């Protein structure tokens, strides 16, 4: 007879644990966007003012140096990264770092599309490549936080201050949750829909003076589409970095980003956001330590993400199954939690090892993360009972 598994009594109030788009801030409602200048031109005074406000708040909260430019660009973090790759690379060789699917995508762009002099430094999911082997006389492209692997660089100590090349950092799941060392970073990109839970479709591109100098002194050998062009007549188009966007942004999304930034200030700015993410991640890490059926995909504790926490099923009976059956077990857990209305969108990324991916960023309340943990046990035990019944 199949054992009945008792469901926990307490449910999370917020059940949105997706890794992108991520949960809205606590207390969010559409009323928060009432001041959006809908139906107005983004080039009108009110539109430019809103865009500049978003840029200024970004600088304030992330503590971006005054001489770094911040621009709002099309096509989310992907658009921001592509602008940097196609506009800046090719002046010298480039070292490409990848330890999960998005970093691997940038490798593909540089090697197969741009066909540059590129060296690849890759690691399996759950690990980092050998950072000491990277040559910073070359340009270097890397993700700060691997959203699909839960592995991040612990800091920027591996980057020399006297580097000759540019460092291009995809920081989309790190910005506003982890301490980015801008002195070591020449290009930083992210999207609104990660740590701050903003709406999708827009990216942010941050350029150091060294990156601007490259843009103004180097012309790529390939044609650049309009939405990638950041210079005119050999000079940076400064308007892009004061609110004069390349294409038409959604002023509703801009208002939502401003609302998220103002909320970020209310919880203590960057330090407050980091503390919230750290507390959420610690709940999961403690749970994993106490339960031998589940494991953190990130091998080294120092490199574990505090936003996109990736977990694998470590139960010996499940590990004895073939890869397809292991994936089905994890997907079954995800489906159970969704059916119960307890947690949505927490399955592992499609290219990653099977398991769970739980968003622990700052817009999640720690009490909700604590409430979720017993439900993970319930889903596991329910799936295990089903597995035992099938084996019998």
Query: Could you give the C-alpha distances from 12 to 207, 236, 337, in angstroms and in order?
Result: 40, 48, 11
0.85 exceeded by pTM: yes
Q: Is there a domain that residue 15 lies in?
A: no
Residue 10 has pLDDT above 70, yes or no: yes
The domain boundary, picked from 233, 265, 297, lies at 265
Bond preceding residue 134 cis, omega within 30 of 0: no
Same structural domain, 206 and 103: yes
* Residue carrying structure tokens 């089905």: 328
Q: At 264, is the secondary structure helix, strand, or coil?
A: helix
Q: Please give the mean pLDDT across all residues of the chain.
A: 97
Same structural domain, 149 and 35: yes
Residue 18 has pLDDT above 60, yes or no: yes
pLDDT attached to residue 3:
62
CA 150/CA 310 separation, integer angstroms:
5
Which domain does 334 fall in, by range? 269-391
Mean pLDDT of 360-370: 98
CA 340/CA 7 separation, integer angstroms:
10
Separate counts of helices (H) and strands (E) for the chain: 9, 14
Q: How many CB atoms lie within 10 A of CB 33?
A: 18
| Tens of pLDDT, residues 223-276 | 999 999 999 999 999 999 999 999 999 999 999 999 999 999 999 999 999 999
| Tens of pLDDT, residues 105-148 | 999 999 999 999 999 999 999 999 999 999 999 999 999 999 99
In this structure, what CATH number is given to the domain that contains residue 350? 3.90.1150.10
Tokens of 229: 């062009």
| Tens of pLDDT, residues 188-215 | 999 999 999 999 999 999 999 999 999 9
CA 46/CA 14 separation, integer angstroms:
34
Query: Could you give the C-alpha distances from 73 to 55, 170, 218, in angstroms and in order?
Result: 11, 14, 21
| Tens of pLDDT, residues 19-73 | 999 999 999 999 999 999 999 999 999 999 999 999 999 999 999 999 999 999 9
Same structural domain, 251 and 357: no
Query: Could you give the C-alpha distances from 48 to 40, 120, 248, 258, 384, in angstroms and in order?
Result: 11, 41, 11, 13, 56
Structural domain total, the chain: 2
Please state the φ and ψ torsions of residue 187, each to the nearest 5 degrees: -135, 130
Same structural domain, 49 and 198: yes
């Amino acid at each position: 007879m199949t054992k009945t598994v008792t469901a926990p009594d307490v449910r999370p109030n917020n059940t949105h644990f997706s890794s992108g788009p991520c949960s809205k801030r606590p207390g969010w409602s559409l009323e928060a966007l009432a001041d959006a200048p809908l139906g107005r031109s983004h080039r009108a005074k009110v539109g430019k003012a809103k865009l500049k406000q978003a840029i200024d708040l970004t600088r304030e909260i992330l503590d971006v140096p005054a001489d770094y430019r911040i621009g709002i660009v099309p096509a989310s973090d992907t658009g921001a990264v592509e602008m940097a790759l196609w506009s800046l690379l090719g002046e010298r060789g480039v070292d490409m770092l990848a330890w999960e699917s998005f970093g691997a995508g940038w490798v593909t762009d540089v090697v197969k599309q741009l066909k540059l002099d590129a060296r690849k430094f890759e690691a399996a999911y759950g690990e980092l490549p050998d950072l000491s082997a990277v040559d910073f006389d070359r340009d270097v492209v890397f993700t700060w936080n691997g959203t699909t692997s839960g592995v991040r660089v612990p800091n920027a100590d591996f980057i020399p201050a006297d580097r000759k090349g540019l460092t291009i950092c995809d920081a989309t799941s790190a910005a506003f949750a982890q301490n980015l060392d801008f002195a070591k970073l020449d290009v930083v990109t992210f999207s609104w829909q990660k740590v701050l839970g903003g709406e999708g479709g827009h990216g942010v591109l941050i350029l150091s003076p060294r990156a601007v100098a490259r843009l103004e002194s180097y012309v790529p050998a390939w044609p650049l589409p309009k939405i990638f062009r950041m210079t005119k007549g050999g000079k940076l188009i400064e308007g892009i970095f004061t609110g004069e966007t390349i294409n038409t942004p959604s002023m509703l999304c801009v208002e939502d980003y401003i609302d998220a930034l103002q909320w970020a200030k209310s919880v203590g700015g960057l330090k407050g956001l980091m503390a919230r993410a750290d507390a959420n991640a610690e709940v999961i890490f403690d749970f994993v330590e106490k339960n031998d059926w589940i494991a953190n995909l990130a091998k080294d504790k120092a490199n574990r993400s505090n936003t996109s926490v990736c977990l694998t099923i470590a139960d010996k009976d499940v590990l004895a199954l073939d890869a397809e059956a292991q994936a089905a077990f994890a997907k079954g857990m995800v489906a159970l939690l969704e059916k119960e209305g307890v947690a949505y969108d927490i399955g592992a990324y499609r290219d990653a090892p099977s398991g769970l991916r739980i968003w622990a960023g700052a817009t999640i309340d720690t009490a909700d993360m604590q409430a979720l943990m017993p439900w993970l046990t319930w889903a596991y035990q329910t799936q295990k009972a089903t597995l035992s019944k099938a084996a019998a």
